[in-house]
Amino acid sequence: MIPGVLVGHHHRVEPGWATGTTVVLVPDGAVGAVDGRGGAPGTRETDLLDPSNLVQQVHAVCLSGGSAYGLAAADGVMRWLSERSIGFRVGAQPHHVVPIVPGAVIFDLPMSEWGNRPDASFGYAACEAASSEFELGCVGAGAGARVGSLKGGVGVASTTAGAHRVGALAVVNAAGEVADRASGLPWLPSLGTTAVALPERKPDGLNTTIGVVAVDADLSKAECRRLAMAAQDGLARAVRPAHSMFDGDTVFALATGAVPLAEPRAFALDALCTAAAEMFAEAVVSGTREATSLNGVVAFRDL
């Protein structure tokens, strides 16, 4: 996606299991922010991303299945980072650090047998697998994802906005649909060009889209939060309804600071926000398009 930003997956897709964890690693640190919408969030370490609070940079974002149980995956991410002395310095020795790892989870429990959910080992293994090249679809946190009546998954999209790179990663697990049930046409034409017959929706509570938008710009925490807010607009373009009482839609923003933001800053930031919304929408399309049918949940590609 963006230089300095790595992505790793770990999942179990086998009898009794369909869940996993995706880690977005920034070992050199990145300014972080978050925007959460909907009525059912599952998050960790989001308060510290408030612009008024002390910590300015994060070292990873942990995205996981397993509902609130899956928040434990971030413990493994912290262990992996601490073993490499990566984190917020709190003491005199190089290893006296506290890794800053915000996280969010999707609700995918019905896709696995009860008790089969990500733990700290998933987060650690995802870090071990982190790379600039990675798989999409039913991998990592998207293993058990679902979007409306269809199978969801992990998707990405990236573009340029002026001198900057903008990338988005989405774990698509929304309660809403990616296509209009009345017409069968996708909300975004980039998902498909013809109408499809959507399966009947199963009211089992699978919900929440989470993800990350990343840029190489030098942004403050407040500016970074504007990116996260804009990305939520992209989600609303690709899935309807979005941000419901049954979704915990959460988007993190990361700014590596590699490229100074042009002046006047407000106009340059607005261009980044426009791109963030577009790329998150396309990442949702990517996650839906790359997903494969699993456990009786049909993928868009199979319609």
Polymer length of the chain: 303
Residue 194's pLDDT is 86
What phi and psi values does residue 91 have, to the nearest 5 degrees? -155, 180
Q: Please state the rounded mean pLDDT for residues 12-18.
A: 97
Give the rounded percent of residues in the chain with a pLDDT score beyond 90: 92
* Position 203 pLDDT exceeds 80: no
Residue 266's pLDDT is 96
Q: How many whole angstroms separate alpha carbon 295 and alpha carbon 301?
A: 15
Q: Please state the rounded mean pLDDT for residues 183-201.
A: 90
What phi and psi values does residue 143 have, to the nearest 5 degrees? -60, -45
Q: Please state the rounded mean pLDDT for residues 157-162.
A: 96
Q: How many whole angstroms separate alpha carbon 156 and alpha carbon 136?
A: 8
Q: What is the pLDDT of residues 131-152, one digit of tens each?
A: 999 999 999 999 999 999 999 9
Q: Please state the rounded mean pLDDT for residues 4-31.
A: 98
| Largest Cα span, the chain | 63
Q: Which two tokens stand for residue 177?
A: 């649909």
* Position 195 pLDDT exceeds 70: yes
* Position 85 pLDDT exceeds 70: yes
Q: Please state the rounded mean pLDDT for residues 173-179.
A: 94
Query: Which of these ranges, 54-68, 138-152, 187-201, has the smallest mean pLDDT?
Result: 187-201
- Tell me the average pLDDT of the chain: 96
* Position 206 pLDDT exceeds 80: no
* Contact (Cβ atoms closer than 8 angstroms) between residue 71 and residue 250: no
* Position 204 pLDDT exceeds 90: no
Hey, CA dihedral for 286, 201, 41, 81, is it positive or negative?
negative
Residue 201's pLDDT is 76
What H or E segment, with its residue span, contains residue 235? Answer: helix 221-238
Residue 74's pLDDT is 98
For 296, residues 6+ apart whose C-beta sits below 8 A from its C-beta are: none
* Contact (Cβ atoms closer than 8 angstroms) between residue 118 and residue 70: yes
Q: Please state the rounded mean pLDDT for residues 2-10.
A: 97
CATH code assigned to 6-292? 3.60.70.12
In this prediction, residue 1 has a pLDDT band, given cuts at 50, 70 and 90, of: confident
Nearest to 110 by CA among 211, 5, 195, 16: 16
* Contact (Cβ atoms closer than 8 angstroms) between residue 261 and residue 217: yes
Q: Give residue 120's Cα distance to chain centre.
A: 18
* Position 207 pLDDT exceeds 70: yes
* Position 200 pLDDT exceeds 90: no
Residue 68: CB atoms within 10 Å:
13
